Amino acid sequence: MEGDQGFDREALAKMIEEKFATGLAQFSKEQEDRAYKADQDRQAQEQMREQQETARVAAEKDAFGSMVNPYIQPAVQALGFENQATRDYVDFYMGNPDAAPRKSDVEAKFQELARIGKPLPRGDIYAWYVGQDKLKVDREEATKRAMAASTMDGGNGRTGTPTIVDPYSLPVTELEAALGNRLF
């Protein structure tokens, strides 16, 4: 094999083919997983729409339904919300295992927001908590830097907070000692 320059072309070609096949298989698997999740979400939405449509049609067909619907519709909506909340719970905690330490905080905030009629996805609530933690750390670091800067000597060899004295209240000897040999 003249001109090979120390490597086996067949082995290199085989290695490239294997890596390509592995990458392609992994990509295909990820695409299948995404399609499956999207299909599950679509089915859940269709199911909820069908339930709502069934309730609406039943209420329209029956005059009694129009009388009862104001009492039943909130219950149907509550069931729909519970369904969405359960799906959000499972999806969020299965997809974010690092959120476990904040689970009680996230759930408490989720319940509080749901109680006042303004629920947010758990992912958004968790992101808010992570941002608050980062902000707290940033503030602590800025405070430490400011404290360190306040004790720096600024190049004049003195540390700490300087004492400022009114020069008009000093006797001449102390004023001369403070100025040293400086001429203006």
Question: What confidence tens digit (pLDDT) does each residue in 14-56 have?
Answer: 999 998 889 888 988 988 988 898 888 889 889 888 988 888 7
Domain membership flag for residue 47: yes
Mean pLDDT, rounded, of the chain: 82
Residue 127, CB-side half-sphere exposure with 13 Å CA sphere:
6
Q: What is the pTM assigned to this prediction?
A: 0.42
Q: Which domain holds residue 77?
A: 11-95
Q: Identify the domain boundary among 78, 95, 112.
A: 95
Please indicate, yes or no, whether residues 141 and 75 belong to a single structural domain of this protein: no
Please indicate, yes or no, whether residues 80 and 107 belong to a single structural domain of this protein: no
Q: Which contacts of 45-54 are long-range, i.e. CB under 8 A and separated by 24 or more positions?
A: 48/80, 48/83, 48/84, 51/76, 51/79, 51/80, 52/76, 52/80
Please indicate, yes or no, whether residues 90 and 103 belong to a single structural domain of this protein: no
Please indicate, yes or no, whether residues 30 and 105 belong to a single structural domain of this protein: no
Domain membership flag for residue 175: no
Domain membership flag for residue 30: yes
Apex 122 CA angle, 121 and 123, nearest 5: 90
Please indicate, yes or no, whether residues 19 and 91 belong to a single structural domain of this protein: yes
Query: How many domains are there within the chain?
Result: 2
Domain membership flag for residue 16: yes
Cα distances from 79 to residues 73, 76, 159, in angstroms, run 10, 5, 67
Domain membership flag for residue 116: yes
Q: Where are the alpha helices (DSSP H) in 62-184?
A: 63-95, 103-115, 122-150, 172-179
Tens of pLDDT along 152-175?
A: 555 555 555 667 777 778 888 888
Please indicate, yes or no, whether residues 18 and 86 belong to a single structural domain of this protein: yes
